[in-house]
Amino acid sequence: MPNLSREEAAARSALIKVDSYDVDLDLDQGTEVFGSSTTIRFRCLTPGASTFFEVVPRQLGRVTLNGRELPVTDATGDGRFPLTDLAAENVLTVTATMEYSHSGEGLHRFSDPEDGLDYVYMMAFLDMASRVYACFEQPDIKAPFRLTVTAPQSWQVIANEAGTQVSPGRWEFDRTQPLATYFMTLVAGPYHSIYRSHEGVRFGLHARQTYREALENDAEELFDVTFGCWDRLHELYGVPYAFGDTYDQCFVPEFNAGAMENPGCVTFRDEAFMYRSAVTDARRESRATTIAHEMAHMWFGDLVTMSWWDDLWLNESFADCMGVRAATEGTRFTGVHASEAIIALRGYAADERSSTHPVAGDVVASDEALNNFDGISYEKGGAVLNQLAAWLGDEAFFDGLRKYFERFRFGNAKLADLMDCLAEASGRDLTDWSQRWLRTTGPNTLRVESSIEDGVYTAATIVQTGEPFRPHRLRLGLYRVDGDETVRFHQVTVDIDGERTEVPDLVGQPVADLLMVNDDDLTYAKIRLDEPSFAAVAGAMPTLSNPLTRALLWNLLVDMVGDADLSVDEYLDILAAVLPSEPSVAAVGLQLRHAKGFVDTYLSPEARPDGVRRLHEIASIMRRGAVAGDGIQLSALRYEVATASSPDEIAWVAGLLADENVPEGITMDAELRWDCLLRLVVLGAAGESDIDAELERDASSEGHKHAATCRAALPTPEAKAAAWQSVQWGEGLSNHVLRATADGFWWPEQEALTADYVAGFFADSPDGIGKRMPWEARHLGQVLFPSHAATAATIEAAETMLAADLNPHLRRSVSDALDDMRRAFRARG
């Protein structure tokens, strides 16, 4: 497949300027292939020079350059086609037969098993546009697109701009503004659509027919969130939406990412955001944040695009930062900041792995870029931008962004370009700040040292560890446990730099029960509390009303377990004391998920059963104490099911599946039934016939994926061998079915059964999943890595594997999983 180096991209963008793309696609050629015809008009700044374009066809039909026929045998196996003797003005035409994808990359085709209807959508990111049409595939060669499509007459087609069906099955779309090649998209099939108008723009929601009811049920909420974020982003940016008068949000099947910010035609993974079973409000909040994130991209990424993948953060970090702000300030989900603060742990975890990289990365070639879509480019970058906004102030920050949008409108930019605009707006030199925050790696850790006399602070120092030291603007919060309430009675804002910074404003203040470092989450830093404050956490959190402070304390606890500063048993003690009083559904779900991960991987096989028992008790107490029908009740029940182990607990889960003794407020819908069946399968209390019966009951695409997970989870040698074969080398399975099968393979309860596959992962994966498409290799490498087997032998096997030549996406997954396993191994010690 195409792989472009940074140097090659720079040379090509200095040589050619593309004026337009005309792309015509024929989707009415059956279920395996489609027709693609592309006309590219471009200028060459050095006539007579040579370059190349990218195309990855099943069969290349015809290539002409300025009317001259070029031999199709000139196409190379790496997806490149050479062009020689270029004129000052050029017209390139390429016709080809292309292949539909089942990996979620290129033009993905899906047949819904529930009703037999087919759907397609395009995912051109990151370098998959050349699997759909011929192009110069790099982010800094932007041009307008005119798309025409032939499709089955029963289909509708949606793309970046407004389209018209000019004859049965024939669609023409308005010419776009200049776009990077990875932003051109289309969505086609018998989609169910709902439309609204707002502020002169026609908004559309689209989902496949089997999600029709789910879309109808949630349409008003989806439009409310969309319009609220739209209005708030326009207020913040002060720059209008630039991509026509339509904005479509398409919920598509088997999508690899959560969503993709194609201008005017955003695509979302439907299973994650279309709800046919009960979900918690935290899931709805997450959906709102994703809608806001993708909308924020219309400015960061789409209007102004990074010049090269080094500056991916100019897309993702800003969308993360601004999306959280738009969702918090523009929708009913006012607690988004607290929820995202907990999720931000992903950034700290990524920053402490060997694969960490600067926020402004160093991407030598395009095949490395996908690996930078991680906690650094999202969570860390977003947190760093929050710190920058706190340091500059909102007025200067947004004034600088407006300069940036105006200066690079429909063009490309680099880190230095943004910093120049912000420096002009603020009057500050950001060179040192940019170097220390955006060009370095690793988190700092902040803590307070203090002296106390007669109940007041007589001296206080913030100590920064973890080089390089960075400048931080942060707040210290002083909290007092006052009867049945924990209140903040004072707050100090301080700018720190270097290893030690005195805090004179704390001197003379009464000693706090809880002295909170990085109160209000202004900066990106790990924190540690002084001993009296940490001792007060379990008693203070149940009566602490500030959701953001609670979120930061949950992060502290999880981070301490990861650093082996707090044992899993101690963490479970605090969880049992605090979680029943936690009002945030998002916090409850995330803590139960962290606890399940710690129990499964950080505890030795001998200690694990007791950890599972304790977690089951915590989830059971949570469920019984929750309000009937509340999201906390549902979240706790799911983990209560997932940790059932004793004969009585297994019988209870079987009873739920039989609709017996179902708690008031709980509906045994499809998702919950599959949760119960999976647990029974893992423990050998249900079998193949039970899976078949449940699949007959739920024949949806999601039902088929759940069935694949359950079959891989069957505790038999035959089931494990079949699952392993499918994931490693199986053909004809879609990306999501492969992932669902991998999800069911490893279970700590089946450690003896799967012991031989631990070594098998390292032996088989390089020539198995390592040969798959990038997203598949990355996801399957993460899921199939034997994380539960945190032993010295497993660590050694992973190190040996990484010493060999590997698919870069598989390498990244294994490297990250190995770093996490080393943490688990230390914790076991």
Catalytic option among 54, 294, 640, 694: 294
Please report how the helices 415-426 and 431-438 are oriented relative to each other, as an axis angle in degrees rounded to 10. 140
Whether 418 shows a pLDDT value over 70: the answer reads: yes
Percent pLDDT > 90 in the chain is 96
Q: Which fold has domain 310-438?
A: Neutral Protease; domain 2 (1.10.390)
DSSP per position, 633-668: HHHHHHHHHHT--SHHHHHHHHHHHTT-SPPTT---
DSSP3 helix / strand / coil % (the chain, rounded to 5): 45, 20, 30
Digit-coded pLDDT (tens) for 574-589: 999 999 999 999 999 9
In 3D space, the residue among 484, 556, 545, 485 whose CA is nearest the CA of residue 516 turns out to be 556
CA distance 823 to 601: 10
Average pLDDT taken over every residue of the chain: 96
Digit-coded pLDDT (tens) for 662-708: 999 999 999 999 999 999 999 999 999 999 999 999 999 999 999 99
Whether 138 shows a pLDDT value over 80: the answer reads: yes
In this prediction, residue 274 has a pLDDT band, given cuts at 50, 70 and 90, of very high
Beta bridge partners of 265: 248
Phi, psi of 476 (to 5 degrees): -105, 130
Q: What is the CA radius of gyration of the chain?
A: 27
pLDDT score at 405: 97
294 carries an active-site annotation: yes
CA distance 189 to 18: 31
pLDDT score at 529: 97
Q: In 658-785, where does DSSP find H-type helix?
A: 670-682, 688-697, 701-713, 717-729, 735-743, 755-764, 774-784
Check whether the bond before 126 is cis (ω within 30° of 0).
yes
Phi, psi of 219 (to 5 degrees): -60, -45
CA distance 384 to 381: 5
CA distance 601 to 610: 13
According to the CATH classification, is domain 6-296 in 3.20.20.120? no
**Sequence-ordered list of residues with C-beta below 8 angstroms from that of 620, at least 6 positions apart, any chain:** 636, 640
pLDDT score at 714: 98
In this prediction, residue 90 has a pLDDT band, given cuts at 50, 70 and 90, of very high
CA distance 541 to 587: 13
Q: Which fold has domain 539-828?
A: Zincin-like fold (1.25.50)
Half-sphere exposure of 226 (CA within 13 A, CB side): 23
- Let me know: does 250 contact 270? Beta carbons within 8 Å: no
Which of 748-757's residues contact partners 24+ apart within 8 Å by CB, and which partners?
748/600, 748/605, 748/608, 748/788, 749/645, 749/682, 749/683, 749/715, 750/682, 750/715, 751/605, 751/788, 751/789, 753/715, 753/716, 753/717, 753/720, 754/720, 754/786, 757/720, 757/724, 757/786
**Sequence-ordered list of residues with C-beta below 8 angstroms from that of 650, at least 6 positions apart, any chain:** 644, 680, 683, 685
- Let me know: does 551 contact 342? Beta carbons within 8 Å: yes
146 CA to centre of own chain: 30
**Count of other CB atoms within 10 angstroms of residue 721:** 11
In this prediction, residue 341 has a pLDDT band, given cuts at 50, 70 and 90, of confident
In this prediction, residue 236 has a pLDDT band, given cuts at 50, 70 and 90, of very high
Digit-coded pLDDT (tens) for 769-819: 999 999 999 999 999 999 999 999 999 999 999 999 999 999 999 999 999
pLDDT score at 614: 98
Burial 572-588 (b: 16+ CB within 10 A, else e): bebbbebbbebebbbbb
Alpha carbon distances (Å) from 111 to 45, 422, 701, 726: 46, 49, 9, 20
For residues 152-178, average pLDDT: 98
**In the numeric block, which tokens belong to residue 139?**
């982010």
- Segment among 23-27, 297-301, 658-662, 825-829 with least mean pLDDT: 825-829
pLDDT score at 249: 98
- Segment among 276-290, 360-374, 394-408, 526-540 with least mean pLDDT: 360-374
Q: Where are the domains of the chain?
A: 6-296, 310-438, 445-523+525-534, 539-828
Q: Are the folds of 6-296 and 539-828 the same?
A: no
pLDDT score at 94: 98
- Let me know: does 362 contact 368? Beta carbons within 8 Å: no
CA distance 307 to 162: 27
**Sequence-ordered list of residues with C-beta below 8 angstroms from that of 675, at least 6 positions apart, any chain:** 638, 641, 642
CA distance 617 to 619: 5
pLDDT score at 74: 81
Burial 251-287 (b: 16+ CB within 10 A, else e): bbbbbbbbbbbbbbbbbbbbbbbbbbbbbbbbbbbbb
| Nearest 10 degrees: Cα torsion 368, 369, 373, 378 | 130
Please report how the helices 670-682 and 647-657 are oriented relative to each other, as an axis angle in degrees rounded to 10. 150
Whether 829 shows a pLDDT value over 90: the answer reads: no
CA distance 301 to 364: 20
Digit-coded pLDDT (tens) for 491-542: 999 999 999 999 999 999 999 999 999 999 999 999 999 999 999 999 999 9
- Let me know: does 292 contact 324? Beta carbons within 8 Å: yes
Phi, psi of 83 (to 5 degrees): -125, 125
pLDDT score at 1: 59
DSSP per position, 157-222: EEESS-EEEEETTEEEEPPPSSB-GGG--EEEES-EEEEEEETTEEEEEEE-GGGHHHHHHHHHHH
Alpha carbon distances (Å) from 666 to 616, 637, 660: 18, 9, 12
Q: SS3 for 70?
A: strand
In 3D space, the residue among 400, 447, 393, 437 whose CA is nearest the CA of residue 420 turns out to be 400
pLDDT score at 781: 97
- Let me know: does 73 contact 113? Beta carbons within 8 Å: no
**Count of other CB atoms within 10 angstroms of residue 326:** 30
For residues 113-125, average pLDDT: 97
CA distance 287 to 222: 9
**In the numeric block, which tokens belong to residue 228?**
């609220």
Whether 243 shows a pLDDT value over 70: the answer reads: yes
